[in-house]
C-alpha cells in the first residue's frame, strides 16, 4: 500500500508530450504572474494594515516580500527543472509521490476555485463604485449574492463568463489581453502615486515605528497574502517557449516588480494622509479616498476604482487559467476523468475543462456569499508552498544531475527558512479556516481512494 501511495512519476512524463501549444514568451509569463499577484489586495489591504504598524507598514511589506521570496526561489528551481502544467501538483508527483501530489492538487482546487469565486463577487462592488461617478447604479438585487442584499450576482457571472471565453480562444490571446490589463492597472497605481505625492507631508511618517516590531510582524502576516500569485507562471510550464530560462525570470521578476510597486503605493499613501485617521471603516476605498482628497475632486477615485475592476478581471483570467492547467495535468495522470484532458485541435486548449471550471466557479460566485470560506484558500496556498520547499530539497538530493535553468542560492537554507515562515503563518490562522480545510481534505482523500487511485495511469503501468 505504502509503495503505491508514494509512487513517483518520471520527470519526462510530468512535462508532457506536446499536447499543449508553446506560445508564451518571457514577457507574457512575467505579466501572468504580475497579473495574478496584483488583484484587489493592494486596493484594500492598506486600510487594514496601516493601523497595525503605522508608517512602519513599509517594513511589513518588505518582510512579507522576503517571506514570499523563499518559496518563490523554490518554485523557480522546480519550474526550470520540471516545466509542467501542473505546477506544485506536478512537482510533488515527481519528488514526494502520488498521494502527496493528489493532496496538493486538491488543495489547489480549493485555493484557485474559491479564490476566483471570491474576487468575482467583489467585482460588482467596484463596478458599482466606478459607475456611481456617472450617476449609474446596478440594482442591488443583481449586484450581490444572497446574504449580501442581492438575489443573483450578475457582474460575477459576467466576469467569469468573459474570462472563460477568452481562455477557450487560446492561451496566447488570453496572455495578450492579460498583458494589456496588467499594464493598465500598473499605470493606474502609478497615477495614484503621482497624485498622492502632490500632497506628500514628511511629518506623516513620524514617529516611524509607533507600534513597535510586533506591529510590523502583525501587519506582515496580513500583507503576505497580497504577494500570493507569483507561482501563476509555473502553471504555464508546457505552454512556455523557453521554460527553463523564462519561468524563473517570470516568477522572481514578478515578485520584484510587485514589491517595488507596493512600496511606492504605500509610501505615497502614508505621506498623503495621517496614518492615525480611521481607514478601517472605508478600507475598500482607501486609495480612492486619498486621491480624491489630494486633488479635491471625485474623478481620481473613479479612475482608481477602474483599476480595481481591471485588476480583478485579470486575476480571474489568470486564476481560471491556472486551475484548468492543473486539472489538465491531473486528468492526464488518470486522477481525474479524461474530460479534463481533451484538447481542441485548432486552439490547442482544453475546452471542455475550461467550460467545466467556468461553470463550477460561476455558480458560487453568483449565488453564494463566500465570507470566511474564502479565507480557507490561504491554508491551501501555504500547504502547496510547503510542499514545493520540501520538493526542491528532495529533488536536489535525488537528482543532482538534472538540468536546471535556475538553482536556489544558499541551499538548503532558503527552502528551510521558507518552511519555517509558512509554519508561523499557518499557526496564526483562525480555527474556522482549519475546520474548512480539514473537511475539504477529507472529501479529497475519499475521492482519491474511491476513484483516482484505481484510475491512476502510473498505477496501471505497474510503476
Per-residue pLDDT band for 280 (boundaries 50, 70, 90) equals very low
Q: What's the mean pLDDT in 101-128?
A: 84
pLDDT at 283: 47
Query: What is the DSSP secondary-structure string of 231-261?
Result: GGGGGGTTTBSSHHHHHHHHHHHHHHHHHHH
pLDDT of residue 412: 96
The grid cell for 36 is: 495574478
- Residue keyed to cell 495614484: 192
Task: Check pLDDT > 60 for residue 394.
Answer: yes
**For the chain, what is the domain count?**
1
Assign residue 38 the CATH number of its domain. 1.20.1740.10
Q: C-alpha dihedral over 431, 435, 437, 439, to 10 degrees? A: 180
- Residues 254-266 as b or e (16 or more Cβ within 10 Å = b): bbebbbebbebbb
Average pLDDT score over residue span 140-156: 83
Q: Domain limits at 80?
A: 2-460
Average pLDDT value for residue range 363-384: 76
pLDDT tens digit sequence for 402-459: 999 999 999 999 999 999 988 888 887 778 888 888 999 999 999 999 999 999 999 8
pLDDT of amino acid 103: 96
Q: What is the pLDDT of residue 443?
A: 97
Alpha helices in 96-137 (DSSP H): 98-132
Could you tell me if 386 and 422 are in contact, meaning their C-beta atoms sit under 8 angstroms apart?
Answer: yes
With a cut of 90, say whether residue 71 has pLDDT above it: yes
Q: Which of 119, 128, 121, 120 is nearest to 148 (CA)?
A: 121
pLDDT at 463 over 70: no
Vertex 119 angle, CA 117 and 124, to 5°: 100
Amino acid at each position: 500500500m505504502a509503495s503505491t501511495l508514494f509512487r513517483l512519476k518520471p520527470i519526462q512524463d510530468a512535462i508532457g508530450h506536446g499536447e499543449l501549444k508553446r506560445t508564451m514568451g518571457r514577457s507574457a509569463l512575467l505579466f501572468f504572474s504580475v497579473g495574478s499577484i496584483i488583484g484587489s489586495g493592494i486596493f484594500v489591504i492598506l486600510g487594514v494594515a496601516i493601523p497595525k504598524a503605522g508608517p512602519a507598514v513599509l517594513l511589513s511589506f518588505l518582510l512579507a516580500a522576503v517571506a514570499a521570496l523563499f518559496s518563490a526561489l523554490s518554485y523557480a528551481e522546480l519550474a526550470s527543472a520540471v516545466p509542467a502544467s501542473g505546477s506544485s501538483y506536478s512537482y510533488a508527483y515527481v519528488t514526494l509521490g502520488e498521494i502527496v501530489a493528489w493532496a496538493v492538487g486538491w488543495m489547489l482546487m480549493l485555493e484557485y476555485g474559491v479564490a476566483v469565486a471570491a474576487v468575482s463577487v467583489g467585482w460588482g462592488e467596484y463596478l458599482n463604485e466606478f459607475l456611481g461617478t456617472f450617476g449609474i447604479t446596478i440594482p442591488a438585487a443583481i449586484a450581490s449574492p444572497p446574504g449580501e442584499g442581492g438575489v443573483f450576482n450578475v457582474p460575477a457571472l459576467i466576469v467569469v463568463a468573459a474570462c472563460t471565453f477568452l481562455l477557450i480562444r487560446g492561451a496566447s490571446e488570453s496572455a495578450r489581453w492579460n498583458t494589456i490589463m496588467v499594464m493598465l492597472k500598473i499605470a493606474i497605481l502609478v497615477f495614484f502615486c503621482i497624485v498622492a505625492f502632490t500632497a506628500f507631508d514628511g511629518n506623516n511618517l513620524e514617529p516611524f515605528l509607533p507600534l513597535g516590531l510586533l506591529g510590523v510582524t502583525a501587519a506582515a502576516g496580513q500583507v503576505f497574502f497580497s504577494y500570493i500569485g507569483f507561482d501563476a507562471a509555473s502553471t504555464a510550464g508546457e505552454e512556455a517557449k523557453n521554460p527553463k530560462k523564462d519561468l524563473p525570470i517570470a516568477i522572481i521578476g514578478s515578485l520584484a516588480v510587485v514589491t517595488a510597486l507596493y512600496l511606492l503605493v504605500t509610501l505615497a499613501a502614508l505621506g498623503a494622509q495621517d496614518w492615525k485617521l480611521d481607514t478601517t471603516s472605508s478600507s475598500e476605498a482607501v486609495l480612492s479616498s486619498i486621491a480624491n482628497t489630494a486633488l479635491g475632486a471625485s474623478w481620481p477615485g473613479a479612475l482608481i476604482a477602474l483599476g480595481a475592476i481591471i485588476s480583478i478581471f485579470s486575476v480571474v483570467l489568470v486564476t481560471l487559467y491556472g486551475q484548468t492547467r492543473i486539472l489538465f495535468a491531473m486528468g492526464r495522470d488518470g486522477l481525474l476523468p479524461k474530460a479534463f484532458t481533451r484538447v481542441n485541435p485548432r486552439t490547442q486548449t482544453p475546452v471542455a475543462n475550461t467550460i467545466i471550471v467556468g461553470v463550477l466557479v460561476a455558480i458560487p460566485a453568483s449565488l453564494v456569499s463566500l465570507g470566511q470560506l474564502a479565507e480557507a484558500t490561504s491554508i491551501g496556498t501555504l500547504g502547496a508552498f510547503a510542499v514545493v520547499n520540501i520538493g526542491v530539497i528532495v529533488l536536489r538530493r535525488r537528482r543532482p544531475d538534472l538540468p536546471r535553468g535556475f538553482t536556489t542560492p544558499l541551499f538548503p537554507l532558503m527552502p528551510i527558512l521558507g518552511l519555517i515562515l509558512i509554519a508561523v503563518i499557518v499557526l496564526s490562522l483562525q480555527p474556522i479556516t482549519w475546520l474548512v480545510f480539514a473537511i475539504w481534505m477529507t472529501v479529497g482523500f475519499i475521492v482519491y481512494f474511491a476513484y483516482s487511485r484505481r484510475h491512476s495511469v502510473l498505477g496501471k503501468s505497474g510503476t
